[in-house]
Structures are given as C-alpha cells and as structure tokens.
C-alpha cells in the first residue's frame, strides 16, 4: 500500500476527493495532510477523518525560502510518503526541493497545460477565447507547471461564462481526474487519463 502525503493551502476539496478514493480500497493510504497556512480549511476536514495533519506557516520564513523548505522536507521525511500530491498548494517550490522528491510528486493545475501556467487560469482561458477549458495532473519537475502530463479533463466554455462559473464547473472534474491519476500512478501506471465529460 502506497503512503500518500497531500499538501494544501485552502479548502482542500481536491485533498478530500483523494482521501475518499483511497478509503474505497487499499491501494494507498493518506499519511499526512500538510498546509502552509494555519487557516487552511482542509486541515480540520482531514483531522476529522483521523488523518495526521501538520502546518508549516510560510509567513515567519519571509525571505528565507530555504528555511521553509527545510522544515517542509523534514516534516515530509518523518511521514515517509511514497507519493506527494500537491492539491491547491499555492507556494512555489524550488528546483532544489523538488529534486529531493522527483518522480514522486504530482500536482493538479486548473488549465489544459501547457496553456496557462501560473495563476488566474480561468480568466486567462476566457480572455484567450478558448472553446474548452480543463485541468491537468502532472508530475512535478523544476519547471513551474511544466512536468510530464499524466491526465487531463476538459469542459466546454459556455457563452456568459465568468472565471467563477468556469471554476465552479471545473472543480468536479478535478475531483474525478486527480483520484483516477493517483490510483494509476500508485500502481506505476503512467498511461494518460482522459476525462471528456
Ligand atoms: C483547485 O482548483 C486547484 O486546481 C488549484 O487550486 C484549487 C484548490 O482547491 N490549484 C492551483 O491553482 C495550483 N496552481 P481545493 O483547495 O478546494 O482543492
């Protein structure tokens, strides 16, 4: 059974979708939910389910990214995960940190990569006149939102869509995509996952 650590910054709905899927059978188990923000709503949700949680507040480390990442690394090492899932973790990690976990770290990004790396993806998809929008689960490498793509889900863009309506319709697709990719990745299956509604 693979040991999975999940890193969050906010509400943790993707984290919850991963946890729910892992609870269905024994392919993997969540060993840690870690946030960089004590207000992250996902921490309480994970604790309620008996999952160990940790918080490393990035704010006291202002200007000391290495210090923050050292603490992050130490906390992860103690949990001994086989796989780390970034699930709405909104801190940029340095190549030095990523290298230590390379091949073991996944991320979900709310766009059809390689389009719209970074922030404000829903707004940028609308501004670009996209007819479809989507999300991507990829392996994390030193390049921001740039690692090998493992799965994508797409939704149509509808007339009158706003960044908020797009985000709201995309989230349930994220909740289908991420568990599907993790389930395969945990079994060393990197074949592409496609969800086309
Ligand atoms: C999700 O939409 C995820 O794709 C996005 O943050 C949201 C987190 O929601 N991630 C990024 O933008 C990463 N750059 P959640 O906390 O409810 O899972």
Q: Which residues of the chain have pLDDT under 50?
A: none
Claim to verify: residue 111 and residue 79 sit in the same structural domain: no
Q: pLDDT tens digit string along 50-91?
A: 999 999 999 999 999 999 999 999 999 999 999 999 999 999
Domain boundary at 101, 116, 140, which?
101
Domain boundary among 101, 133, 157: 101
From atom 17 of ligand 1, which residue's Cα is the shortest distance away? 13
Residues tagged active-site: 109
Residue 90 DSSP SS3: coil
Helix pair angle (13-24, 163-185), 10° resolution: 30
For residue 163 and ligand 1, the question of a CB distance below 6 A is answered with no
The pLDDT mean for the chain works out to 97
Please, are residues 27 and 2 in contact by the beta-carbon 8 Å criterion?
yes
pLDDT at residue 101 in the model: 97
Which among 52, 78, 101 is the end of a domain? 101
Question: What does 141-197 look like in DSSP terms, one character per residue?
Answer: -SSTT-SPEEEEEEEE--TT--HHHHHHHHHHHHHHHHHHHHHHHTTT----EEE--
Mutation probe of ligand 1 site: the residue of 91, 105, 108 with most atoms within 8 A of C-beta: 108
Provide the 10 A C-beta neighbour count for residue 61: 17
Residue nearest to atom 16 of ligand 1 (CA): 12
126 and 45 share a domain?
no
Question: What is the percentage of the chain residues whose pLDDT exceeds 70?
Answer: 100
The atom number, within ligand 1, closest to the CA of 89 reads 13
């Amino acid at each position: 059974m693979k040991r999975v650590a999940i890193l969050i910054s906010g509400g943790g709905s993707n984290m919850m979708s991963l946890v729910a899927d892992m609870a269905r059978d024994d392919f993997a188990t969540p060993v840690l939910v870690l946030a960089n923000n004590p207000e992250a709503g996902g921490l309480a949700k994970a604790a309620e389910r008996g999952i160990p949680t940790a918080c490393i507040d990035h704010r006291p480390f202002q200007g000391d990214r290495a210090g923050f990442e050292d603490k992050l690394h130490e906390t992860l090492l103690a949990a001994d995960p086989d796989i780390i899932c970034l699930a709405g973790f909104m801190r940029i990690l340095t190549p030095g940190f990523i290298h230590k976990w390379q091949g073991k770290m996944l991320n979900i990004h709310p766009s059809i990569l390689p389009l719209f790396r970074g922030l404000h993806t829903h707004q940028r998809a609308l501004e670009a006149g996209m007819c479809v929008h989507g999300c991507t689960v990829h392996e994390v490498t030193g390049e921001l939102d740039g690692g090998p793509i493992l799965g994508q889900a797409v939704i149509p863009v509808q007339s009158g869509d706003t960044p908020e309506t797009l985000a709201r319709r995309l989230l349930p697709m994220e909740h289908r995509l991420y568990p599907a990719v993790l389930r395969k990745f945990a079994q060393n299956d990197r074949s592409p996952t496609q969800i086309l509604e």
